Amino acid sequence: METQDGPQGATGEQGRAPTRDSTVVDELSWRGLVAQTTDAGEVRRLLTEGRATVYCGFDPTAASLHFGNLVQLVVLRLLQRAGHRVICLVGGSTGLIGDPKPTAERVLKTKEQTASNVERISSLVQPFLAFDGPNPAVLVDNLEWTAPLSALDFLRDVGKYFRVNQMIRKEAVAARLESQEGISYTEFSYQLLQALDFLHLYRTFGCTLQTGGSDQWGNLTAGVDLVHKVEGVSVHALSTPLLTDSSGAKFGKSEGNAVWLSADMTSPYAFYQYFLNIEDASAARLLRIFSDRPRPEIAELESAVSQRPQAREAQRALARDVTTLVHGARATARVEAASQALFGRGDLAALDAATFEDAVRELPMARVAAAGIPIVDLFAASGLVPSKSAARRAITEGGAYLNNVKVTSDEHVLSPADLVHGRWAVLRRGRRSLAVIAVGA
């Protein structure tokens, strides 16, 4: 995460408020960020008549937030820009339990792992919001009020307000009850813990609105119900749609691996490339959610998707905007330079070592012990061509490149002078087929 040039806060250059002729509810709706509300009229009233206090929770079940969590951070940013007080909750206690998954029981983290994740995520969320100035965001950890609570007090003061017949109707719980594995009492009680958060934040800060993904709707409404039963007041929930591609698959997941917001878990280059390669059908929707470009500019990019899909204008804008939002403008400039240089539109040697290595790690790689290997052997070993004879043909036809320089002789031997940052050589076949040679251990 960039520190000196990281994500823009609510008062930063990207902190554009909603248009004057719209409320923040209209802004959220235009961006496609409203799936359900407990009462649409009351939620609109809350967010248009005065200053509301709103919270969203993030569980530290991993060492980083992922792309899906970014939606909630965007919602909090928009609400803070509109003048509302926002609370960002990192779940030190709920993270010890884990929200029930529809498929299987979670492997519980240790207290030490959870505490470490809380610290990392607390640091990660801060650049997205303004924690100083006239309307500072609030950062809290629910372990603060949950840890002192005894089991008896929890059962008497919280558990008595819940009915098991209603709890088992929650989507994830119902799915688990129908499975062979069932559900443990630990995970079954998760919704009580999250509901307690809403009650505590209502009592402490006057919080009257919780936001979250639509897959959290059962937990959101559990908190709404608890506050109503205990305090006799109406509070509300707003959920956002899940991010899915045109096939209905969740974004940010690929063979179980999330697109993380932490640079040490998903590099800025890999992050940028992920959005650069988003399908046409999703690019416009994601621009509305994550970009701060003016609406007419986003509309033009939406039109470009259908009129000039080969130019991928929307994807380029999306990749630039989301990477800047998460990693800062400097990191974005570096990864764009790396992306261009890999395809012959820049100097590979001019890239800093860290950005270069992040970029080439995304390529097919062949490892060799040392320089001194014929170029035709390297092209064959990289998989860019099926054989040494095919490598010779590619060189003869003018379609083989070493570090963006056309290879003119099939007798060329890789030398130490050919290595970028002392250990890398980038091979290219034609315009877009790339591979990298790693020299040494």
For the cut 60, the answer to whether the pLDDT of residue 320 exceeds it is: yes
For the cut 60, the answer to whether the pLDDT of residue 3 exceeds it is: no
Domain boundary (336, 360, 384) is at 360
Q: What pLDDT digit, counting tens, does each position of 333-352 carry?
A: 999 999 999 988 889 999 99
Q: What pLDDT digit, counting tens, does each position of 259-284 carry?
A: 999 999 999 999 999 999 999 989 99
Percent of the chain at pLDDT > 90 equals 79
For the cut 90, the answer to whether the pLDDT of residue 421 exceeds it is: yes
Mean pLDDT for all residues in the chain: 91
Domain boundary (329, 360, 391) is at 360
For the cut 90, the answer to whether the pLDDT of residue 71 exceeds it is: yes
What's residue 53's pLDDT?
98
Residue 6: pLDDT band (50, 70, 90) is very low
In-domain check, residue 154? yes
CB atoms within 10 A of CB 245: 13
In-domain check, residue 346? yes
Of 3-7, 169-173, 303-307, 356-360, the least confident: 3-7
Contact 145, 126 (CB under 8 A): no
Token readout for 434 is 């790339």
C-alpha 302/C-alpha 285 separation (Å) is 9
Domain span including residue 402: 365-439
Domain count, the chain: 3
Token readout for 213 is 């993904």
Average of pLDDT values for 83-95? 97
* Beta strand 85-90 pairing with 53-58: parallel
Domain check: are 352 and 382 in the same one?
Answer: no
Beta strands in 38-110 (DSSP E): 53-58, 85-90
Q: What pLDDT digit, counting tens, does each position of 138-197 carry?
A: 999 999 999 999 999 999 999 999 999 988 888 888 888 888 889 999 999 999 999 999
Domain check: are 334 and 375 in the same one?
Answer: no
Token readout for 293 is 């470009």
Contact 262, 64 (CB under 8 A): yes
In-domain check, residue 251? no
Please report, for the domain that includes residue 235, its CATH number.
3.40.50.620
Q: What pLDDT digit, counting tens, does each position of 249-264 carry?
A: 776 554 456 899 999 9
Please enumerate in sequence order all residues whose Cβ is within 8 A of that of 306, keeping only pairs 6 or more positions apart, or say none. Answer: none
C-alpha 7/C-alpha 257 separation (Å) is 23
Q: How far is residue 37 from each of residues 27, 55, 171, measured CA to CA in Å?
A: 15, 14, 17
What's residue 252's pLDDT?
58
Domain boundary (360, 395, 425) is at 360
In the DSSP assignment, the letter for residue 441 is: -
Contact 209, 235 (CB under 8 A): yes
Domain check: are 236 and 177 in the same one?
Answer: yes
Q: 419-439 b/e with 16+ CB inside 10 Å = b?
A: bbeeebbbbbbeeebbbbbbb
Domain check: are 376 and 432 in the same one?
Answer: yes
Domain check: are 78 and 215 in the same one?
Answer: yes
For the cut 90, the answer to whether the pLDDT of residue 432 exceeds it is: no
